[in-house]
Structure 1
Amino acid sequence: MSLQCQKHLFSIEEGVTYLNGAAYSPTLKSSVEKGIEGIQLKASHTHLIKGSDHFALPQKVQKLFAQLINEPDYERIAVISSVSYGMAVVANNLHRLANLSAKKHIIQIQDEFPNNIYAFDRVCQKHNLVYKTIAKPNTLENRGGMWNQAILEGINTETTMVVMPHIHWIYGVKFDLEAVSKRCKEVGALLVIDGTQSVGMLDFDIQKIQPDALICAGYKWLLGPYSIGVAYFGEFFDEGVPVEESWMHRAESDNFAQLIRYERAYRPKAQRYNMGEHTQFIQVPMLEDSLTQILNWGVNNMQNYCAEIIEKPLKALQELGCWVEDSANRANHLLGISLPESITGGVPHNQAFTEQLSANKIFVSNRGVAIRVSQNVYNVEGDLWALVEVLKKNL
């Protein structure tokens, strides 16, 4: 299947060149309609809400996300509010790791998103752990390959856990998760993946990678609304401690006539990690709609579409003095582009250039050390050429 531009399915303002899906995705028109229906259900049609809806509605999202990541068991999927919530689940259960007293550090990568650092501060203090940061190589040539190798070399028997993304949120570097997972299993360390900048646009196969947890915000590449996400939790978490003690976490909680017969047992697998009120009558149908659309498109088709529209403009940017990670160590939907010194003056903040882009209604992210250009199926090749033209005028 070869995709064509899907912009007609979104309500992007006319004249806007939106290359910032890694910050917030636009919302599908069909998802907006589902959200309005959810508002109306709670506002005017509350008599139509059935007790079974509390479980049936989120199960649709769990099953779709399980399909997206090739996980056969939807009960391993939890509906969460945010990445910080999912990381809190991990932090809440780290004490259960075998031989924790012999472990000394948690591995992070340099310039990680703050959520994935702050989540484990208290855990480190409590269990006398430290962060071990794997630095970004101080070179541009084969930077991604060297960074991946350094991560593998940094994992040892003192490693408690590796917390890392699939795609770096600033640089666009793609990490070799299969190799990292294999190394973690060799040393008895957990592997926790933040899939926010990849899942929904780049193939992620739970069966191949076998992480202990995969945590994703919904409002970026899953094209969903804000304040909802999804997470996979593997066997390590099956008897763990949830962040919240919701009545919906408990076994047989769908039997409303028996709710005051308090049940101590939890629902199976990851179902104890759902956020409270995870039915979310507005957000859940919206996320269900966007996941359905992504599965219909196919993430490989989406990734290939992005490869096609960036190929020629990216070559032009490189000829103008920009630098981007080589194709072997990056994906095609998120590019960390270093601008030529004639633009930055040797100061890597890029503010003046991104303001110039905004003035031309071209929207990217300024991340200081790079501009982040992130395209999706609502973009066309001409959107990238528009960026090239602004760069030419500033040289």
Structure 2
Amino acid sequence: MTDYRALFDIPASTAYFNAAQSGPLAIRTAEAGHAAFRNKMAPWRHTTNALFFDLPESVRAEAAKVFGAAADDIAIVPAASYGLATAARNIALKEGDEIVILDGQFPSNVYTWRALAKQTGAVIRTVSRAETQTWTDALLNAIGEKTALVACGALHWIDGGRIDLVAVSKAVKAQGAALVLDLTQSLGVMPFDLKAVDPDFVVAGAYKWMLGPYATGYLYVAPRHQQGVPLEENWINRSDAQDFTRLIDYRDTYAPGARRFDMGERANHQLLPAALESLRMLNEIGISEVARLCAATSSAIKTAVKPLGLHADIPDQAPHYLSLSLPEDAPSDLAGLLREQDVHASQRGPRLRISAHIYNTPEDVDRLVSALKAILG
């Protein structure tokens, strides 16, 4: 078996189970970032095309593999909120239309739609689920003739409950509605069938499960929306922008595909080299292998902590995303107490969120269980 832990500079004594908050950079990714900053010290050593065009195109191509898309369908964005705002600008709604979201959805994927509803007269419909109900069933029950847009992810970011995106997409399309996905908590660690889901827009921040630098992300734009309106106007997303001698021959036409939706300064000379390495690493390993490893670690943890009164009781919980119910007498600062033992996870109310990645080992699981035993008695 491959020692994926060796790809990271994580001390042997550290058990890091918090990829859902921020994934660590691999050594090769960090080295690419260091080299990029050194290159900025001597910009005369690099050609204009290499910096401004070749680099983002390489990133676009690698990101497309993670989505299962064509490179032309990918825009480079700084955050999930940027991609969601782009989607909102290109979806036509009218008064009385319903925008369907999940109860407790991540704020960036709520505020965007509240603003759109205010602008258009649309109505936000927030979906809750019963204790034994899956998020998929709750969402399907809410989609109806007034539904014009469904915005969700592949799982709920708080409890890890999975959403069957193929089933949701079928229901959405039956109403002639749009589907916008924020896959920040699943892309790169959970297989995604783009063809089967056929969403309108998909965005993912890269700093969590894709193990990239902060302020990097990717937006999939379905071909049917690629003649839409970008969130901003900048020089580099216009046609023939490579010709620096003619930049003031202003053009109304854009570069092909989803490139018109690229953020300004998309060719981030310091961040993109690191982002490129993280994408290459994931594609070399394979998303199915990443998913298998994370699921195996989560399964081992579920079994080991059950005697301590911690249970994975969320219906249809995503395999890489453990949300464990805690005993009633568990300390409110459990995550802080774990941190004191160099074990890292997140606490969400009465639940402990554990998000493993390819660097986690059986020894990490043992450290987590031992720490929980010491704290919970």
The answer to whether TM tops 0.5 is: yes
Are 1:122 and 2:115 an aligned pair?
Answer: yes
Matches within 5 A, 1:43-192: 43-71=41-69, 73-94=70-91, 97=92, 100-101=93-94, 103-137=96-130, 139=131, 141=132, 143-144=133-134, 147-192=135-180
Q: What is the distance in 2 between the residues matched to 1:49 and 1:25?
A: 32
Counterpart pick for 1:324 among 278, 289, 312: 312
Alignment check: 8 A CA contact 1:5 1:379 kept: no
Moved more, 128-137 or 47-56: 47-56
Q: Deviations over 1:296-325 (max 9, x none)?
A: 111111121122233333113223221214
1:113 positional shift: 0.6
Q: What's 1:216 paired with? A: 204
1:370 positional shift: 1.6
1:184 positional shift: 0.9
Task: Quickly say closer, same or farther: Cα 1:355–1:101, change in 2 above 3 A.
Answer: closer
Q: What's 1:264 paired with? A: 252
Q: What is the distance in 2 between the residues matched to 1:46 and 1:20?
A: 40
Are 1:368 and 2:361 an aligned pair?
Answer: no
Alignment check: 8 A CA contact 1:313 1:381 kept: no
1:52 positional shift: 4.8
Moved more, 259-268 or 303-312: 303-312
Q: What's 2:366 paired with? A: 385
The one-letter code sitting in structure 2 at the alignment partner of 1:335 is L
1:102 positional shift: 6.2
Report the identity percentage. 31
Counterpart pick for 2:270 among 263, 266, 282: 282
Counterpart pick for 1:336 among 317, 323, 328: 323
Task: Quickly say closer, same or farther: Cα 1:325–1:198, change in 2 above 3 A.
Answer: farther
Q: What is the distance in 2 between the residues matched to 1:257 and 1:379?
A: 51
The one-letter code sitting in structure 2 at the alignment partner of 1:125 is K
Q: What is the distance in 2 between the residues matched to 1:4 and 1:325?
A: 32
| Deviation beyond 6 Å, 4+ runs, structure 1 | none
Alignment check: 8 A CA contact 1:357 1:390 kept: yes
Q: Deviations over 1:182-234 (max 9, x none)?
A: 11111011101111011111111211211111100010111100111011011
Structure 2 residue matching 1:225: 3-state secondary structure: coil
Q: What's 2:8 paired with? A: 10
Alignment check: 8 A CA contact 1:52 1:254 kept: no
Q: Deviations over 1:1-34 (max 9, x none)?
A: xx54411111123421111111111101111111
Task: Quickly say closer, same or farther: Cα 1:4–1:47, change in 2 above 3 A.
Answer: closer
Alignment check: 8 A CA contact 2:95 2:120 kept: no
Q: Deviations over 1:349-389 (max 9, x none)?
A: x32x2122111110101222422101011101222232222
Structure 2, unmatched stretches of 5+, are none
TM-score, structure 1 normalization: 0.91
The one-letter code sitting in structure 2 at the alignment partner of 1:336 is S
Alignment check: 8 A CA contact 2:320 2:355 kept: yes
Q: What is the distance in 2 between the residues matched to 1:304 and 1:390?
A: 25
Alignment check: 8 A CA contact 2:18 2:355 kept: yes
Q: What is the distance in 1 between the residues matched to 2:185 and 2:325?
A: 19
Matches within 5 A, 1:190-269: 190-269=178-257
Alignment check: 8 A CA contact 2:96 2:123 kept: no
Q: What is the distance in 2 between the residues matched to 1:29 and 1:81?
A: 22
Task: Quickly say closer, same or farther: Cα 1:369–1:332, change in 2 above 3 A.
Answer: same
Q: Deviations over 1:26-81 (max 9, x none)?
A: 1011111111111122112434232353121111111111112211x211100000
Q: CA RMSD in A?
A: 1.7
Q: What's 1:312 paired with? A: 300
Q: What is the distance in 2 between the residues matched to 1:51 and 1:368?
A: 50
Q: What is the distance in 2 between the residues matched to 1:371 and 1:108?
A: 24
Alignment check: 8 A CA contact 2:313 2:325 kept: no
Q: What is the distance in 1 between the residues matched to 2:44 and 2:320?
A: 41
The one-letter code sitting in structure 1 at the alignment partner of 2:33 is G
Q: What is the distance in 1 between the residues matched to 2:2 and 2:301?
A: 18
Alignment check: 8 A CA contact 1:107 1:132 kept: yes
Structure 1, unmatched stretches of 5+, are 345-349
Q: What's 1:347 paired with? A: none
Residues paired across the two proteins, number: 376
Structure 2 residue matching 1:343: 3-state secondary structure: coil
Alignment check: 8 A CA contact 1:5 1:380 kept: no
Q: What is the distance in 2 between the residues matched to 1:101 and 1:161?
A: 11
The one-letter code sitting in structure 2 at the alignment partner of 1:24 is S
The one-letter code sitting in structure 1 at the alignment partner of 2:326 is L
Q: What is the distance in 1 between the residues matched to 2:297 and 2:223?
A: 40
Q: What is the distance in 2 between the residues matched to 1:367 and 1:310?
A: 18
Q: What is the distance in 2 between the residues matched to 1:13 and 1:270?
A: 41
Q: Deviations over 1:149-189 (max 9, x none)?
A: 12112111211211101122111111100111111111011
